[in-house]
Amino acid sequence: MNESPKKNSVFTIKNANGIEVECEVLFTFDSETTKKSYIVYTDNTTDESGSLKVYANTYDPSGKNMNLMPIETEIEYNTIEAILNKLEETEAKE
């Protein structure tokens, strides 16, 4: 699994209400298990507890398909959660 930090990469999506929202890429990675590429990003908003909202989707790294696709399986959710937990632990140690 290759993780690629893409700090300062910004893109715009439309939310459920059709409003354009600017998002910042936190990192991307490819999974050998699922054979998919993932993007983890934030819209720099916080939830009720003050934690940064983070989102994840699959994407086409070739750029041929610009649509973000949903996470479909529990394996994918668990993989992303494990990476986020590892990053959070690393950041807490620094």
pLDDT tens digits, residue range 54-86? 999 999 999 899 899 999 999 999 999 999 899
**DSSP letter string over 12-77?**
EEE-TTS-EEEEEEEEEEEETTTTEEEEEEEEEEE-TTSPEEEEEEEE-TTSS----B---SHHHH
Q: What residue numbers bound the domain in which 89 lies?
A: 2-93
Number of folded domains that form the chain: 1
**What pTM was computed for the model?**
0.83
Residue 47 has pLDDT above 60, yes or no: yes
Q: What integer best gives the mean pLDDT of the chain?
A: 88
